[in-house]
Each structure stands twice: as C-alpha cells, then as structure tokens.
Amino acid sequence: MSIRERLSGNEAVATAMKQINPDVVAAYPITPSTEIPQYFSNFVANGTVTTEFIPVESEHSAMSACIGASAAGSRVMSATSSQGLALMFEMLYIASGMRLPIVLVVANRALSAPINIHNDHSDSMGVRDSGFIQLYCENNQEAYDNVIMGIKIAEKAKLPVMVCYDGFITSHSVENITLMENDEVKNFIGEYNPTEYLLDENRNISMGPLDLQKYYFKHRKEIADAMRDSKQIILDISNEFESITGRKYELYEKYCLDDADIAIVVLNSTAGTAKDVVDQLRTQGIKAGLLKPRTFRPLPFKEIAHELKNLKALAILDKSDSVNGFCGPLFSEITSAMYSQNIHTNTVNYIYGLGGFDVKKDDLLNVFENLSQISKTNKIEKVTYYLGLENGGEN
C-alpha cells in the first residue's frame, strides 16, 4: 500500500535512506545537501534506524570512510554537493576502482569561483568519468525512487551509484509524492550479502593494491565493461520497481518525441518546464518534443541516437560548461553518439542556468523558435548559445 506525503527533495531522500537502513552513513554538511545527513542523524538519534552515522571533518574523509566501510562488507550511503563532491574527487575513482556499491546522493550545485550556492550541473558533470553510475532526477518523486533503486543497482553492478537532482529547485521544494511501505522497500532491496569483503574470516583478500601496467589496464577495462553491462541491470531493476509501485523508469524519458520535427534534450528539473512548453507548442500545431536522459553513466548512446534520427532540428541543453571553447558535456556526448550511429541531425547547443540563472518558459520558446528556423533553412548559423545572456556567445 502506497503512502501519500508532502516532502522536499532532501526529506524524500532522507526518508528513502531511513527505509533502506544502511549499515553506515558518512557525511559532511554542504549546502544544499546539508539537510540529508541532518534529517538522517535524527533517525539515528531516535533509534528509527540502526545505521552507524560517521560525522567526519571533510567530504574527502566522508568518501574515505564510505570506502573503508563498504570494503569491510557494509551497505553504505552518503550525500554531498558542489565543492564537497570536488573534494571527494580522488576517492571517487578509488570507490569505483575497488568495485564498491556505495550510493552517493548529489544535490547539484555550481562550483566556485566566484562563490555560488545555487544550482547547475558542473559538480556531477565534472566527475562524470569517475566510474560512478549516474542517475538524474526531474523531481522529488524521482529522487526518492532512484535512491531506492540505486542501492540495488549498485550492489548488482558492483559499481557505485550517484543520484543527482537540482539543488534548491528540487532539494528544498515541497511536492506531493508517493512513498513505499517500509516492508516493501526492505523486500525490494533485500539483505546485503557481499561476495568479497575484507572482514570475511573464511577468505583472505586485498583491495586496492599496486597494479602494474598490464594488470591495471585489464582492471580498468573490467570497470568499463561493468558500466556497459549496468545498462541492462538498471532496466531490469526498474522493471521490478514498476511491478511494485506502478512507476515506470527507463534509461531516458520521451515526451511527444515519436512524431516530433524539433526537440530538445535536457536533464533534471528543467525538463518539467520544457514539457509545459512542448504542450503549448503542440496546441499551436508545432511538432515539438523532448528527450530527458535518466542515465548519463552508462550513456545509452545507441538508443538515444536512434530516438533523435527523424528530427529536422535538435537543441541539447547543458547546465554546465566544459570550458573547451566549443560546447557543454551533454552536447559533446550526445552528438558523438549520433555520429557513431551515422545519424546527422542539425544540432545546436545551449549552455543555460549556470549558478542558478533563471530559465523560464519564454527562454525555452526562443530555443524552439530557433529550431523551427533551422528546420526550414537547413542551416546552422551558430553552434553554441549561452541562453539568456545578452550577447549570446559565438561559436
């Protein structure tokens, strides 16, 4: 039986963590993810969970503690944002390299400098190659659901999982959501029974030893193989989750895309605004559509490319900038995916919303207007735009 609740994104995630009841949570507070360990520490203090909560002195230490606990055989979770994720950078690669199923919640926030506490995706995009599976969430419901699925995905894939959602926009906004019963969550995720862990008295193993050339190369390829194979694991677990809750998740979400002439690709909460814009354009007879990736790691490159093949014009929106003099990270990867499948759709890039810069429906209408023009002329005057800035930014 489902439970109706009104919770902020951070409360929803903390509630999911409470229902999971991990063995260890190690965290250091940083805006806008601070509330997650704050709420969770209350559950620890009042005995609602049996988790060992480790308040550490930094985010680097938080991930270090998670690695140690997970290597010892514990079910482990943490949360962070922005500079905190950046400070974890070294340890993220160790977590994935040791094949540890840690779940890390990231309330996305801009990276300094200048100092900014508001939302963009520069933090999680900056660690996109660290070996973490990355799941992105449009709203509070998706954040709650992906945390619960994330535990099972991590433990099946033997890779850490990063659940990302928009700081303040999602983390602090209150929405009506549907919770699972505690027993449903417990039965869904099951008991954690690691096959390899340091405290196994019946089997002596080492983790993270020195790896010389050919062995290092081999082991890194095994991580890449595990990431590739995790795509089917994500789908299988999502199908199981749907059978329990009725809520369907795939590797990406399509919205009015099948017959669309023009469309945008966008992550997280902006997809909700974009859906309203698509609805508005559809009433005007304009065949607009949207594709919202749920998984960025692994990137479902073949599937996404073929979803976009019949479009006359496409805009890929990035809430981060690769600072490469060309484009944002989502644009470079989606267009590479399309090229690999011999799909050549007229495509432009919009960098938007950096540091929480407002993006409104009128801004997205302007994007679709540009796409309509491109679809008619078959010409791209400019590849990369900085949405909402007066001078735009030429490329």
Tell which residue, 306, 358, 299, has the closest CA to residue 331: 299
pLDDT digits 0-9 by tens, 288-346: 999 999 999 999 999 999 999 999 999 999 999 999 999 999 999 999 999 999 999 99
pLDDT > 90? residue 286 = yes
Task: Extract the tokens encoding 76.
Answer: 């482990």
For residues 241-251, give the mean pLDDT: 98
pLDDT of res. 393: 47
| Angle formed at CA 174 by CA 170 and CA 180, multiple of 5 degrees | 90
In three-state form (DSSP H/G/I as H, E/B as E, the rest C), the secondary structure along 214-241 is HHHHHHHHHHHHHHHHHHHHHHHHHHHH
pLDDT > 60? residue 394 = no
Run of H or E including 53:
strand 52-55
Read off the pLDDT band of 390 (50, 70, 90): low
pLDDT > 80? residue 392 = no
Tell which residue, 123, 56, 113, 115, has the closest CA to residue 92: 123
3-state secondary structure of 340: helix
pLDDT digits 0-9 by tens, 136-153: 999 999 999 999 999 999
pLDDT > 60? residue 395 = no
pLDDT of res. 391: 56
Task: Extract the tokens encoding 161.
Answer: 């999982």
Extended beta strands in the chain, E state: 3-8, 24-27, 52-55, 76-80, 103-108, 133-136, 161-166, 174-179, 252-255, 262-265, 288-293, 295-297, 313-318, 347-351, 384-386
Q: Residue 223 is which amino acid?
A: I
pLDDT of res. 208: 87
C-alpha to C-alpha distances, 99 to 6, 43, 104, 175, 219, nearest whole angstrom: 36, 29, 14, 35, 10
Run of H or E including 178:
strand 174-179
Chain position carrying tokens 């479902």: 300
Q: Cα–Cα distance between 60 and 28 in angstroms, integer?
A: 9
Phi and psi dihedrals of 25, rounded to 5?
A: -125, 125
- In order of their start, the domains of the chain are 3-245 (3.40.50.970), 252-386 (3.40.50.920)
Chain position carrying tokens 């520069």: 122
Phi and psi dihedrals of 108, rounded to 5?
A: -55, 135
